[in-house]
């Protein structure tokens, strides 16, 4: 005799898992799953993956995939972290107290080069973020 073990439910999926279990236990026969439950499952699937969500919540993979893709919110996503950062040492500037900085950024929207020569170091990270992330 074999015992059926429940799949490990991730913390972020436990609430929707309990909602599905309550709904299933309160209905007999084959009733359609309410749209609100499908919408919640699609939201969780975008975070945890469609296959894993469909398996844990016992849902039809194809329908969940379509709902997760169609319900993707049109919000701006956080920028991706840099995969490679190259720091280039520049020759020492002539004159006392002068500094020089060169930053080159490359991302999906293109390339940017910032060269700064002066006595004070600006907030180049903030400047590049403002330029790079502008709409």
| Distance, CA of 103 to CA of 121 (rounded, Å) | 12
> What's the predicted TM-score (pTM) here?
0.48
Between 120 and 57, name the one with better pLDDT. Answer: 57
- Whether 127 shows a pLDDT value over 70: the answer reads no
φ, ψ at 101 (rounded to 5°): -140, 140
Domain ranges of the chain: 11-70, 77-135
Element (H, E) at 65: helix 61-70
End-to-end CA distance of the chain: 61
| Distance, CA of 52 to CA of 7 (rounded, Å) | 10
Instruction: Note the pLDDT tens digit of each residue in 68-122.
Output: 888 655 544 555 555 655 656 556 555 555 667 777 777 666 777 777 776 555 5
Phi-psi region of 89 (alpha: psi -120 to 50; beta: other; left: phi over 0): beta
Instruction: Note the pLDDT tens digit of each residue in 12-47.
Output: 888 999 999 999 999 888 888 999 999 999 999 998
């Amino acid at each position: 005799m074999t015992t059926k073990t429940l799949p490990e439910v991730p913390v972020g999926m436990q609430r929707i898992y309990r909602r599905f279990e309550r709904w299933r236990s309160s209905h007999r026969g084959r009733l359609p799953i309410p749209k609100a439950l499908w919408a919640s499952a699609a939201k969780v699937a975008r975070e945890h993956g469609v296959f894993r969500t469909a398996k844990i919540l016992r849902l039809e993979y194809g329908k969940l995939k379509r709902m997760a893709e169609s319900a993707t919110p049109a919000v701006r996503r956080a920028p991706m972290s840099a995969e490679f950062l190259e720091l280039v040492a520049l020759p020492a500037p002539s004159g006392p107290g002068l500094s020089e900085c060169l930053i080159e950024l490359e991302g999906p929207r293109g390339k940017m080069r910032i060269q700064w020569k002066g006595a004070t170091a600006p907030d180049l990270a903030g400047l590049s973020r403002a330029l790079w992330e502008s709409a």
